[in-house]
Structure 1
Amino acid sequence: MSKAIIKTAKGDMTVEFYEKDAPKAVENFKKLAKEGFYNGLTFHRVLPDFVIQGGCPFSREDATAHKAGAGGPGYHIDCELTGENQYHDRGVLSMAHAGRNTGGSQFFICHSRNNTAHLDRNHTCFGKVIENVDVVDDIKQGDRILSIDLIED
């Protein structure tokens, strides 16, 4: 299984990808990470006991800017909702979207299972934080993604 390290000033989170359940989402995320797309973007949406969300190119300058949360890579990918790991639990990495099949670069990481069941089979789960999940709790709105480094097995 391939993995990635999401590096932030609050710490590094190691993610393991759900390549079998969400191959398109994983391939897209890895492509953008290799291109450096995520470097310097902020977590523009942080909702305690729910999610931290990043990946909007409009957040590069200011996480509170009017357009933060409205951007993407210039294309959409389809949702992948049928795999066995399609449930939102603590540390799960999932595609944000503005409606079915409109995902692109924005993603979120879940704080817990408490308030996320309604996301199951609506948003594509494509990985999970397997090391340092406590960093999710430390992220505040405006904290930056320093880089995302891929680890291929």
Structure 2
Amino acid sequence: MTKTQILFETTEGSFKAELFTDEMPITCGNIIDLMERKFYDGLYIHRIAPDFCVQFGCPYALNPHVIYGTLDEDAGQGSGPPDTTFLSCSGKEHTRDEYGNIEDELVKGLSNEEGTLSMANSGDPDTGGSQFFINTKDNRHLDWWNGSSESAHPVFGKIVEGYEIIKKIEGVEISAEQPVNPIKMISVTIEKE
């Protein structure tokens, strides 16, 4: 079985994640397509919530100083490229909606445990697109099947190398959940084993 790993290079250091391509073919296909489009390269990490998560992937986070909650195009409000198609990891074609979002892929058993990658969304169904977060503690209350949260956050991968970089990022000085000193995602690339 081929393992698909992603290398994240940031201004704070690098880390790797493994994608759950067999269990989450639509979500992973979406993420892989965005990486191949270089969608993530140059974006800034726009949200750090200590003892919860590190989040990025908003196309509006090209400017590290856009404050969340003040504009329609704030960091945290964007999604993938609207009305575009991509192939799932099972080879089926899917289309992002007019907002750049994909359908929720809900697979029971993939829990929001510490070190996992999970799709961010607005809280409504089928509103995940390009943004995701890395759980920095066990956040099982976000698992769609336990009913603790109104929103469903599908897990699609896990950190396999460099988790200490995530913890370093989580510990930087923040203001309104944004790093005081911007942290840039230099590049996100795919490695297949």
Is this contact kept in 2: 1:13–1:133, CA < 8 A?
Answer: yes
Unaligned runs of 5+ in 1: none
In structure 2, which of residues 64, 79, 87 is the aligned counterpart of residue 62 of structure 1? Answer: 64
* 1:111 corresponds to 2:118: no
Unaligned runs of 5+ in 2: 83-99, 145-151, 173-178
TM-score (norm 2): 0.74
The alignment status of 1:80 with 2:120, answered yes or no, reads no
Q: Report the alpha carbon displacement of residue 83 of structure 1 after superposing the two structures with TM.
A: 4.2
Q: TM-score, normalised by structure 1?
A: 0.92
Partner of 1:129: 159
Aligned to 1:148: 188
* Residues 89-108 of structure 1 aligned to structure 2 (within 5 Å): 89-98=113-122, 99-108=124-133
Task: Output the CA distance in 2 between the equivalents of 1:58 and 1:13.
Answer: 23
1:14 counterpart SS class: strand
Shift of 1:89: 1.2
Note the C-alpha offset of 1:64: 3.6
> Counterparts of 1:144 and 1:78 in 2: how far apart (Å)?
28
What residue identity is the alignment partner of 2:154? T
| Identical positions, percent | 32
Helix, strand or coil at the partner of 1:71: coil
Q: Contact 1:43/1:63 (CA < 8 Å) preserved in 2?
A: no
Higher relative contact order (CA 8 A, sep 6+): 1
Secondary structure in 2 matching 1:43 = coil
Runs of 4+ in 1 over 2 A off after TM superposition: 62-66
**CA offsets, 1:29-85, max 9 Å, x none?**
11111111001111111001100000001111125433110011222111112243x
The Cα RMSD (Å) is: 1.3
Letter in 2 for 1:104: G
Provide the rounded CA distance (Å) in 2 between the counterparts of 1:83 and 1:9: 35
**SS of 1:41 mapped into structure 2:** coil
2:29 aligned residue: 27
